[in-house]
Amino acid sequence: MTLTRREFTRLSALGIAASVAPSLPAQSSSTKTGYAIIGLGRIADHFMAGILNTSNSRVAALVSGHRDKAERIAAQYGVPSESIYSYEKFDEIAKNKDVQAVYVALPNSMHAEYTIRAAKAGKHVLCEKPMSTSVADAEAMIAACKAANVKLMIAYRCHYEPTNLKAVQLIRSGAIGQVQAIESAFGFPIAAGEWRLNKNLSGGGPLVDVGIYALNACRYLTGEEPAHISAFASVIDHDGRFNTVEENVSWTMKFPSGIVASCNTTYGALMGGYFRVHGPKGWVAADPAFNYDGNRLLASFDGKQLDEPNPARDPYQFTAQADHFSHCIQYGLEPKTPGEEGLRDMRYIAEIYRSAGLTLG
């Protein structure tokens, strides 16, 4: 499904756009990868702030339906006026030699369109998750980037986050023995009026928004792909918020090794994002695991007790993402989280929805 620019402009006016940050120094270096930021909402604000802490990336262009807002942000990041684009004139970015990559920070239903248009313009693409609102769109995004010989990376920031990385390292080292079971969950009570409650824009409810963290975590924690999925969905609060999307989803996954994962996501309750991995020698957990900052590693094995909070503050995860993708662009490397990683999650999400009697997109 696609979201019209008129719908997106209306949503931006309702408060999706990020608050204006203090004035920041201009960035300029021919050695830095220049990013065009497509969509100036909340998550784009985190990403642009993260770019400032890199040595290899800069904000080079902005794409927005609100010229006045874009001009304010351009002044903060040293973006020239001629590098501000409307959605209608986005394709002109092909002529901008200062832009090597784009960051797609739009509502989910717009990810495919602007990834494909960016690829046709010859720009590398860093796209927010979920990658798309359908498996077919995810496949088309990958095909377009391959055809244009540009890189496609999906913004799975936890793949670059120290708490998650150390949990994976402990599991791979055999510290807790052969993994037997995993629990993971992420959710929050959503406010009425959020664009995520409109399936035409989001593609689904909490599963595509925050449940994807639990799904993806089970995959990188085990290093396996699920062989069987079973799921249930429900709506408990019949207050008008969940007319088009689910409120709750619970699912289990069995992996080829026999590991079983139990996952939950919700828009109806406060469900802090966490995971806990069990083995015969102990356990490893992160609680919280998926926050922008404040993540905490917990573990018990071989008589040891670990409690390691990560003191790094937001937007450090976005800095790591930009740094990694720019490095890949500059040195011709494959991103750690390419389009194929996002496609796999889209296929599993579609399977979870099918099992629960729902549809994706």
Q: Which residues are catalytic?
A: 129, 213
Closest to 202 in 3D by CA, of 132, 105, 270: 132
Report the distance separating Cα 23 and Cα 65, nearest Å.
22
Report the distance separating Cα 256 and Cα 279, nearest Å.
16
Amino acid of residue 258: G
- Exposed e or buried b for every residue in 278-289, given b needs 16+ CB within 10 A? bbeebbbbbbbb
Residue with tokens 């990658």: 131
Residue with tokens 């793949």: 159
Do the Cβ atoms of 288 and 296 come closer than 8 Å?
A: yes
Which residues, including other chains, have CB under 8 Å from residue 301's CB and lie 6 or more apart? Answer: 170, 175, 176, 279, 281, 282, 283, 284
Structure token pair of residue 78 = 């040293």
CA distances from 38 to 43, 160, 229 (A): 11, 22, 35
Report the distance separating Cα 5 and Cα 87, nearest Å.
7
Report the distance separating Cα 284 and Cα 171, nearest Å.
8
